[in-house]
Amino acid sequence: MALPAPDPLAVRAASFQELTRLGVPLPPDSYPLVWEPGDTVELRPTGELEARAAILHVALERVFGMPPAEAEKWLDANALIPDVTEPEWAWIVDELGDRQSFVLHLDALAGICWVLGVIKTLDPLLTPPRLMESLPDLHGGETFTAWKARILAAPRDPTVVAAALDLHYCLDWSFQELERQGLPVPGELNANAIGQRRWALEWSSVFLGEFHDPPGGWEEVDLSV
């Protein structure tokens, strides 16, 4: 259910306060807001979020040696093939694409799992502990249905996810600026990891308002601004 989105200026002020605490550069005051006053926000359906997490996990497992036939069989048996994007399918079946980009999806996966309530925190400085334990046991034959029953997803309040999105939108600029200046980042994550988390949060959040397009697919998320 769509809820009134929080005051974007108050959220942006809180994001800047967190950036200051982390000791990273602040975006310019003209940096765009993610949403406007009067907009509403909701999350994508839980089943969609769970399917996206499972697919990202399969793509990541292919990076680390899962045989393509085994990956395809698991996706087919769990009726997830229709939700796999074309680049993901090319990677999973034929190992076509940028291996490193699929490695980076670990942090997109962390973002989706946080939205689902599967992991407790999304610390901008740290990789979530025990993330892989929260995902389907592909090699052990755990089904998508059994995994969902095990994790009992409890998606977060959409307004909380919106605030996290604004923070990561700002962090994305800050971490890229640090790298541009050749300065160290304050924790374990780099700009690519922050960008992946932003990707997950943007895809998970659906804003409704005058300036928002209908929600697009996973590959359609625009991280260029």
Q: Domain limits of the chain?
A: 3-27+157-208, 46-151
pLDDT attached to residue 225: 75
Residue-level pLDDT at 1: 84
Q: Taking each helix axis from N to C terminus, what angle separates 99-116 and 158-180, rounded to the nearest 10 degrees?
A: 150
Q: What is the pLDDT of residue 24?
A: 97
| 159 burial via Cβ count (<10 Å: 0-12, 13-18, 19+) | middle
Model confidence pLDDT, tens digit, residues 109-152: 999 999 999 999 999 999 988 899 999 999 999 999 999 999 99
Residue range 65-121, pLDDT digits in tens: 999 999 999 999 999 999 999 999 999 999 999 999 999 999 999 999 999 999 999
Token code pair at residue 146: 């059994």
